[in-house]
């Protein structure tokens, strides 16, 4: 997900996005642990998406103060 798409969302939507990404990342980690994950690049992509979403969320919260 691009940062511009994340910046268009409000704080509540960003928090939901972060929680959804964390759940997806957990699922991918479990697939990797059970040897079911075929595309290992998904792990890195979700980790970067989580960081991107958290960064935009922090920027929005700071701007709201």
Divide the 65 residues of the chain into consecutive groups of 10 and give the mean pLDDT of each group.
91 96 97 95 96 96 90
Total tally of structural domains belonging to the chain: 1
Cα-Cα-Cα-Cα torsion 56, 46, 23, 34, nearest 10 degrees, comes to -160
Domain coverage including residue 12: 3-64
DSSP class of residue 38 equals S
In 3D space, the residue among 30, 31, 25, 33 whose CA is nearest the CA of residue 51 turns out to be 25
CATH of the domain at 13: 1.10.287
Question: Given this model, what pLDDT does residue 1 score?
Answer: 79
Question: Given this model, what pLDDT does residue 65 score?
Answer: 84
């Amino acid at each position: 997900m691009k940062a511009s798409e994340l910046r268009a969302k409000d704080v509540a939507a960003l928090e939901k996005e972060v929680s959804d990404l964390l759940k997806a990342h957990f699922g991918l980690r479990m697939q990797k642990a059970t040897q079911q994950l075929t595309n290992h690049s998904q792990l890195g992509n979700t980790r970067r998406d989580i960081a991107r979403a958290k960064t935009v969320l922090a920027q929005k919260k700071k701007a709201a103060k």
